[in-house]
Amino acid sequence: MGVIEVDRVRARGPRAVADRAWADPVLDDTVAAVRHGSLETAGTVLGATRLDPERRALRVEALAKAAVGASSAVEALVARDNGNPDLWLWLGRTRVEEAWRLKPDVRARAVQAHRLQAFRQAMDAARQPLLTAASLMPGDPVPWEAMMWVALGLDRPRSDKDSVWFEAARRYRSLFPANVARLVTLSPEWGGTAQEMLGFARAAAARAADTDPLAALVPLAHFEHVAAGRTPMSRGPWFSEEALREIVAAAGRWWQRGAHPRAIEAHNVFGAAFYLADLRRPARGHLARTRGRGSRLAWSHLGDPAQQYVRACARLNVPTG
């Protein structure tokens, strides 16, 4: 399908699906069930992905976010089937997501020491379930991808962060969320440098297969670089001409040449970049392929991800229904 031109068609209101950047009907149904308190089928849905790390990582992330606040119920499932790596993985990742919800604002840490302590304790509680999942399925990279966020949240030494990345990468080097976690680890906001972050993104994109959306790491790295030195009220362009040329080239190397669980997320990243650069045609092309499903990446850099996604689609006349 070519670029969808809809200049003469008005977007039909904010019907976007917030934070479900996937094309997986089974996952849609299971996320809805978990949010309504029915957790029993989630383990089976994860078990079906044991030979597909990309889909496994996507599903456990989504199911963990759906189960935030209900980790004790997931723990009860584990207690009934404590040899199940899928349930241990889900428990660990759910605790990671619960911990992030406790993280205090940087500016408030001085007056919220108790909340910072609770955040660290919650994040540390994710380690053992993830290590158990890893021991039950030694070849699975997904527990190690989750542990990358644990190392980041606990602000572990760089050697520890490198070690966890090595474990994930040696099992499945092209795993999209593990590469995103590594990019964030190398970002200036988390103690890295713009040079090593951009270098990592370029190298990952260069070695990626045509069907692999790792090319989206390039615009994502530029978002991280600019956001590190940008205040919420900053004006002016997001990307230099040189950065924009690099983003255009990265998009040209990847144009959804095959199905990939993270394709919609990658289209969101490219769509956001081109939207900010006022390159309307490629922005429409990528956003039309998101199927009305916005992602946290990279819209969170602009504010509320769902609102920013809907606003961009409306301004570009991309239907989200």
Question: What is the spatial distance between Cα 268 and Cα 228, in angstroms, rounded to a whole number?
Answer: 20
Note whether 132 and 250 are same-domain residues: no
Does 54 map to a domain?
A: yes
Note whether 28 and 101 are same-domain residues: yes
Sign of the alpha-carbon dihedral angle for 278, 185, 206, 228 = positive
Q: Tell me, what's the pLDDT at 35?
A: 97
Note whether 210 and 96 are same-domain residues: no
- Tens-level pLDDT at each residue, the chain (321 residues): 333 333 333 334 446 787 899 999 999 999 999 999 999 999 999 999 999 999 999 999 999 999 999 999 999 999 999 999 999 999 999 999 999 999 877 655 555 777 888 999 999 999 999 999 999 999 999 999 999 999 999 999 999 999 999 999 999 999 999 999 999 999 999 999 999 999 999 999 999 988 899 999 999 999 999 988 766 545 668 999 999 999 999 999 887 666 899 999 999 999 999 999 999 999 999 999 999 999 999 999 999 999 999 999 999 999 987
Does 179 map to a domain?
A: no
Note whether 147 and 271 are same-domain residues: no
User: Which residues, in sequence order, are CB contacts of 96 under 8 Å at separation 6+?
Assistant: 64, 123, 126, 146, 149, 150, 153
C-alpha to C-alpha distances, 148 to 136, 176, 182, 264, nearest whole angstrom: 19, 13, 8, 23
Q: Tell me, what's the pLDDT at 110?
A: 57
Q: Tell me, what's the pLDDT at 235?
A: 63
Q: Which of 49, 153, 140, 62 is nearest to 99 (CA)?
A: 153
Note whether 136 and 254 are same-domain residues: no
Does 181 map to a domain?
A: no
Note whether 150 and 203 are same-domain residues: no
Q: Tell me, what's the pLDDT at 11?
A: 38
Q: Which of 296, 307, 300, 249 is nearest to 274 (CA)?
A: 249
Distance in angstroms between the alpha carbons of the first and the last residue of the chain: 18
Residue 85 · residue 136 · CB < 8 Å: yes
Q: Tell me, what's the pLDDT at 104?
A: 79
Note whether 16 and 147 are same-domain residues: no
Q: Tell me, what's the pLDDT at 9?
A: 35
Picking from 123, 141, 172, the residue at the C-terminal end of a domain is: 172
Does 257 map to a domain?
A: yes
Does 221 map to a domain?
A: yes
Note whether 63 and 165 are same-domain residues: yes
What is the domain extent for residue 227? 1-21+186-321
Does 45 map to a domain?
A: yes
Q: What beta strand segments (E) does the chain contain?
A: none
For the chain, how many structural domains are there in total? Answer: 2
